[in-house]
Amino acid sequence: MTVLITDQRRYPHGVPCWVDTEQPDPPAAASFYAGLFGWELTEAMPPGTPGSYLVATLDGHDVAAVGATDGEAAWNTYVACDDADLSAAAVMSAGGTVLTPPRDAGPGGRFATCADPTGAVFRLWQARRRLGAQVVNVANTWNFSDLATSDPDRALAFYSQVFGWQVSGDLGAGMIRLPGYGDHLAATIDPGIRERQAKAPAGFADVVAGMAVTDGPSGWLVRFTVADRDESSATAERSGATVVSSADTEWTREAMIRDPQGAELTLSQFAPPS
């Protein structure tokens, strides 16, 4: 991803484009995330329609959403596709599972819920009116989604077949790239990306997601940029969340938290070497 503030961003096929969280009590979750990130949440479902889908905005730009579920709270990652029905068929051909067949989400777009062969659940998103996250990589917005998988070779073979993803050794372990994505960014919303990343490894501009090996269940994890990890963690705790773990990397200060209804996410503060 790249820093972006616009309301017309379109995501190419194969690029993670949106995140939402499904919660047993959406209004309570909306209150929590409004307090944590300063989001404003607006009901997107037409009056009289069952269910709830609260779209979160930051300074008027779409950043995420809160939906309803009868099950466990969780964060979801959506991957852009040109045609949800064709992509769902590709998921099955590659050894994955279509958990919820493609269906319309009103005029916003068309989606399907899928699982890769290692069990990680994700969603396809064919955008119509709702294009995806319109501001990312700034404080209190979505930063990245990471695949935690029990079998990276099997998972990568699947995502390569469905979306064309690759992992390049030159970028270090766990950096998933979509060839040509950097060219798309340079031609659309980030014309200075090549100059800004002149010292980065070849292919860095094409990175669309991360991947790590896990001994536990496979799944997609979401991280959000924050200005101060410790301050945001404390805010979350005061509102009923639990800090699961904290860690410092070469470039970030991070904390995984579990929100009051049980959905996990990572708070990530950019802290490059001095």
What string of H, E and C letters represents the secondary structure of the chain? CCCEECCCCCCCCCCEEEEEEEECCHHHHHHHHHHHHCCEEEECCCCCCCCCEEEEEECCEEEEEEEECCCCCEEEEEEECCCHHHHHHHHHHCCCEEEEEEEECHHHEEEEEEECCCCCEEEEEEECCCCCCCEECCCCEEEEEEEEECCHHHHHHHHHHHHCCEECHHHCCCEEECCCHHHHHHHCCCCCHHHHCCCCCCCHHHEEEEEEECCCCCEEEEEEECCCHHHHHHHHHHCCCEEEEEEECCCEEEEEEECCCCCEEEEEEECCCC
Q: Which of 77, 79, 78, 38 is nearest to 61 (CA)?
A: 38
Query: Which pLDDT score is estimated for 3?
Result: 42
Q: Is the pLDDT score of 187 beyond 70?
A: yes
- Tens of pLDDT, residues 84-113: 999 999 999 999 999 999 999 988 999 999
Contact 101, 114 (CB under 8 A): no
Query: Which pLDDT score is estimated for 7?
Result: 60
Q: What band does 170 get if pLDDT is binned at 50, 70 and 90?
A: low
Every domain of the chain and the residues it spans: 4-270
Tell me which of 50 and 232 has the higher pLDDT: 232
Least confident interval from 73-77, 87-91, 105-109, 257-261: 105-109
Query: Which pLDDT score is estimated for 4?
Result: 42
- Tens of pLDDT, residues 8-29: 889 999 999 999 999 999 999 9
How many residues does the structure list for the chain?
274
CB atoms within 10 A of CB 258: 16
Can you tell me the distance from the alpha carbon of 137 to that of 270, in angstroms, rounded to the nearest whole number?
Answer: 10
Least confident interval from 23-27, 79-83, 167-171, 193-197: 167-171
Tell me which of 247 and 203 has the higher pLDDT: 247
Q: What band does 5 get if pLDDT is binned at 50, 70 and 90?
A: very low
Mean pLDDT, the chain, whole residue set: 93
Superfamily of domain 4-270: 2,3-Dihydroxybiphenyl 1,2-Dioxygenase, domain 1 (3.10.180.10)
Q: Is the pLDDT score of 1 beyond 50?
A: no
Can you tell me the distance from the alpha carbon of 263 to that of 147, in angstroms, rounded to the nearest whole number?
Answer: 16
What mean pLDDT comes out for the span 175-202?
Answer: 89
Q: Is the pLDDT score of 169 beyond 70?
A: no
What mean pLDDT comes out for the span 50-58?
Answer: 93
Angle at 149 between CA 125 and CA 74, to 5 degrees: 55
| Residue carrying the six token digits 């939402």 | 20
